[in-house]
Amino acid sequence: MVVITGHQGMSDDNSKNTLIVIEGPTAVGKTAFAVALAKMLNTSVISADSRQFYKELKIGTAKPSVEEMEGVHHLLLGHLSIHDYYNVSRFEQEVLTLLPALFAENQYVILAGGSGLYIDAVCNGIDDFPDPDPELRSYLKGLLRDEGIEKLQNLLFKHDPEYYRSVDLMNPVRLQRALEVVLSTGKPYSELRAGQPKVRDFNIVKIGLNLPREVLFARIARRVDKMMDDGLLEEVRSLLPFRHLTALNTVGYKELFDYLDGNITLPQAVENIKTNTRRYAKRQLTWLRRDPEVKWVEPDHVQELQAYLADQ
């Protein structure tokens, strides 16, 4: 039987309200697991996949289809445009605003996705950092555009090596945000994030999904091939005018932009997507394994989880 522990919120009145967090690397099966659990519990799923927030990014982000959602109510899925400004603090506030009404209908709510920083913000809170200076933001965007993501990585390593070792180094949004805070405050981002977790008035149970590496990597390869069959190249081609936007500097899109630029062949672009997705999955696992509250299960253990929750 799967043994799961969570941490207790501060309010006795809400002691039965539980946020079930479903985490894990890309392609491990989080969507199917969350949908199956939500159907068992008759509850909703809040997306915590920062790439699936954008309505224009469908195929390349593996956004669940209507069929895959199986009638389960999903929130914060495709609710933004790639032109919208969004950050982890806004996500935290949106989720905390949604939860009271959801808990009024069901003692369980599911938060599912692979964006660790966004999940951490909901579970532990995020510090109120200063709003970015527009000129500084413009400067960093210019560095990214003109010198590439490696320039931002090197700057972050120089100013905050601790955060450099834990952040998703291929995520320009997180790199820019950390550099905005570092350069505007003169203090390391990791230091400012090291405050005490905020107390939530609901219980939190964290479930990490994982598979043997060879199985996970095979799933990644199959999913990339399916994306291509489903029209990923055409989706990327339609987004060419907006390739400068931060939301599009992500795995699955940048490799095909490279192909459309004539720099590599299409087979090489597809292979690069698979390679970069495997690397992303490894970084996700590294992030998750630092959290002792995460209890690891395989994606086909939904029934055991339901049995555990029923006993509480």
Report if residue 1 sits inside a domain: no
Residue 275 belongs to a domain with what CATH number? 1.10.287.890
* CA gap 229, 192 in Å, rounded: 45
Cβ–Cβ under 8 Å, residues 68 and 35 = yes
* 206 and 123 in a common domain: yes
Confidence of residue 307 (pLDDT cuts 50, 70, 90): low
Who has greater pLDDT, 9 or 18? 18
Write down the mean pLDDT value for the chain. 88
- Does pLDDT of 176 surpass 70? yes
* CA gap 245, 232 in Å, rounded: 18
Q: What value does the mean pLDDT take over residues 238-242? A: 97
* 19 and 57 in a common domain: yes
Q: What value does the mean pLDDT take over residues 123-146? A: 80
* 121 and 35 in a common domain: yes
* 116 and 11 in a common domain: yes
| pLDDT at 107 (0 to 100) | 95
* 207 and 70 in a common domain: yes
| pLDDT at 4 (0 to 100) | 37
- Does pLDDT of 300 surpass 70? yes
| pLDDT at 302 (0 to 100) | 81
Confidence of residue 132 (pLDDT cuts 50, 70, 90): low
* 162 and 108 in a common domain: no
* CA gap 144, 36 in Å, rounded: 40
- Does pLDDT of 197 surpass 50? yes
Residue among 151, 192, 193 nearest 172 (CA): 151
Token representation of residue 306: 């339901």
| DSSP β-ladder status, 45-47 and 74-75 | parallel
Domain that includes residue 253, residue range? 215-281
| pLDDT at 88 (0 to 100) | 82
* 59 and 16 in a common domain: yes
Which of 158, 192, 226 is a domain's end point? 192
Report if residue 169 sits inside a domain: yes
- Does pLDDT of 129 surpass 70? no
* 183 and 158 in a common domain: yes
| pLDDT at 28 (0 to 100) | 97
* 293 and 250 in a common domain: no
- Which tens digit of pLDDT belongs to each residue from 269-284? 999 999 999 999 999 9
* 205 and 59 in a common domain: yes
* 238 and 114 in a common domain: no
- Which tens digit of pLDDT belongs to each residue from 246-259? 789 899 999 999 99
| pLDDT at 127 (0 to 100) | 67
Report if residue 187 sits inside a domain: yes
Residue 115 belongs to a domain with what CATH number? 3.40.50.300
Residue 173 belongs to a domain with what CATH number? 1.10.20.140
Q: How many domains does the chain have?
A: 3
Confidence of residue 98 (pLDDT cuts 50, 70, 90): very high
- Which tens digit of pLDDT belongs to each residue from 207-216? 999 999 999 9
Report if residue 271 sits inside a domain: yes
Cβ–Cβ under 8 Å, residues 20 and 10 = no
Q: What value does the mean pLDDT take over residues 162-183? A: 88
Helix (H) or strand (E) holding 86: none
What's at 274, amino acid-wise?
K
* 83 and 207 in a common domain: yes
- Which tens digit of pLDDT belongs to each residue from 62-93? 999 999 999 999 999 999 999 998 888 889 99
